[in-house]
Structure 1
């Protein structure tokens, strides 16, 4: 993605405070402003959705000690009861 130079009008004191805030975080004002705009527009999330990327899960599968069919049946019954209002 290319960069574009912009001009905006903003309160001087607010801009000084923003630059100080950015510097405290090790960023320049442009970098922080870009991050904030992305967050506001949720660009990164939209990009992930559009690219249909799936985050990698890092876990080791386990083998159950006993059959899980009883647990599954119990969970289904609980869900059915909650949906039917019982």
Structure 2
């Protein structure tokens, strides 16, 4: 089954468009195909958010965490997060 295609014109930042075309070439994908994939992903993400919000109200879940202030090296931050998580596992 062949999908009907629509030719369109859009205005995009020139440097962004050139980068997008280079990216498509580097992946071995046609620009049109990659753009279609990006649009599909965006629409799918939006549909997924709508579906989840219909199934779950804000009263059904709660995000509970204590933020960690970053300081020093990234490895120190990872260690703090890992230590905090290991103390909550039974």
Q: What TM-score does the superposition give when structure 2 sets the normalisation length?
A: 0.45
Q: Choose 1 or 2 for highest CA Rg.
A: 1
Q: What TM-score does the superposition give when structure 1 sets the normalisation length?
A: 0.47
